[in-house]
Amino acid sequence: MTSRTVGVEEEFLLVGADTDGPVAVGPEVAEAAADAWVKGEFKQEQVEICSRPTASLDALASDLTDLRRRVSGLAATHEAVVVASGTWPGEHLPTPVVSDRFARIGEEFGELAAQQLTCGTHVHVSVQSPDEGITVLDGLRPWLAVLTALAANSPFWHGRDTGHASWRSVVLSQLPTAGPAPLWRDVDTYRRTTDVIVAGGGAFDEGMLYYDARLSARYPTVEVRVTDVVPDPDVAVAVAGICRALVDTVVADGATAHRLSEALPTLALRTAAWRAARHGVGDRLLDPATGHLVPAKDAVGSLLAFTGDALVADGDSAIVQDVVGRILAGGTAADRQRTLVDPQHPATGLRAFRVG
């Protein structure tokens, strides 16, 4: 069986090489790249890399490593370093990219748009059709909070420790189309809901549906959007492997996946998402297999058990098990930030999270 392709988009902060804050050189970095693999983002203090779709996690790791090195070199020409953090820890007023679309977003969404200097990792997994995509979205929704916990990397906000492992998740959850989605059941419902949201002013188009997972507006994929950007590319690769295994598992055994999903209302998933953002892997998480709070390692174990056959079939089990084991033993990137970063003077410590 040919494995599904996966692709990863990573958003990064651009920080002055000799200053204590972000620098608005994202458009210049993207322009210098002059291709589709390095892009600007909503704020000028950000840059995004986009891997090529591949069926091999080894190839994905190589591509992300090369892209990180490349974008780091481009940033250096503008006296900036590229940093992997879900939020900027200190005080900073970000600079919107100049475009008609972003200006409209800023005008319509006010402070919600103004504060969005946040960086995530988005995973695309190929699907055969929108119908298969809806089946996948309905089946994987209970498990996404566990991914948030594993990749948490944004404990600070505006010079303070938020007490959360992933404050980025909390910031994004304020947007009207963000967070766990309901059971869609069919493509028509998904499309009709999009039309109602756009007509009601909650989004301008399909590209502004910020659900935890969605049908991509550009590619024949489902896009999983729940994880912070992380400094270690191996973690991003493992998250991609788990996402692919979730898709494979749901397609192979939709009845089991949907039984677990139907047992957990959307409001319960919002609670699970918040707990994951609050605690990372340092406390109890919702176990979708039982519907109960369990130690984080047990919830992660349930995720790996649910996806185990698919991870083996795709040849990804060893990679995923190794990375997950390291996180459970040593903590998340958010835990590392707390040992390294003074949010009052964030650049010094956060440079340990530079990429490339």
Would residue 168 be called left, alpha or beta, if left means φ above 0 and alpha means ψ between -120 and 50 degrees?
Answer: alpha
| 1 pLDDT above the threshold of 70 | no
Task: Report whether pLDDT(345) > 90.
Answer: no
Query: What pLDDT, on the 0 to 100 scale, is given for residue 270?
Result: 97
Mean pLDDT of 244-261: 95
pLDDT at 128: 97
Q: What percent of the chain has pLDDT over 70?
A: 100
Q: Which of 168, 163, 126 is nearest to 151 (CA)?
A: 168
Distance of alpha carbon 226 from alpha carbon 27, whole angstroms: 25
Query: Mean pLDDT across the stretch 330-352?
Result: 93
Domains defined along the chain, listed by start: 6-348 (3.30.590.20)
- pLDDT tens per residue across span 61-96: 999 999 999 999 999 999 999 999 999 999 998 999
Q: What is the pLDDT of residue 351?
A: 86
pLDDT at 123: 98
* Residues 123-132 pLDDT 10s: 999 999 999 9
pLDDT on residue 74 = 97
> Phi, psi (5° rounding) for residue 133?
-60, -40
Backbone angles phi, psi at 304, to 5 degrees: -70, -30
Q: What is the pLDDT of residues 135-184, one digit of tens each?
A: 999 999 999 999 999 999 999 999 999 999 999 999 999 999 999 999 99
Does the model's pTM come out above 0.85? Answer: yes
Higher pLDDT, 221 or 36: 221
Q: What is the pLDDT of residue 16?
A: 95
pLDDT digits (tens, 9 = 90+) for 89-118: 999 989 998 888 888 988 998 988 888 899
Residue 271 pLDDT exceeds 80: yes
pLDDT at 348: 85
Contacts of 291-296 with CB under 8 Å at 24 or more apart are: 291/263, 291/264, 296/149, 296/328
Range 321-329 average pLDDT:
98
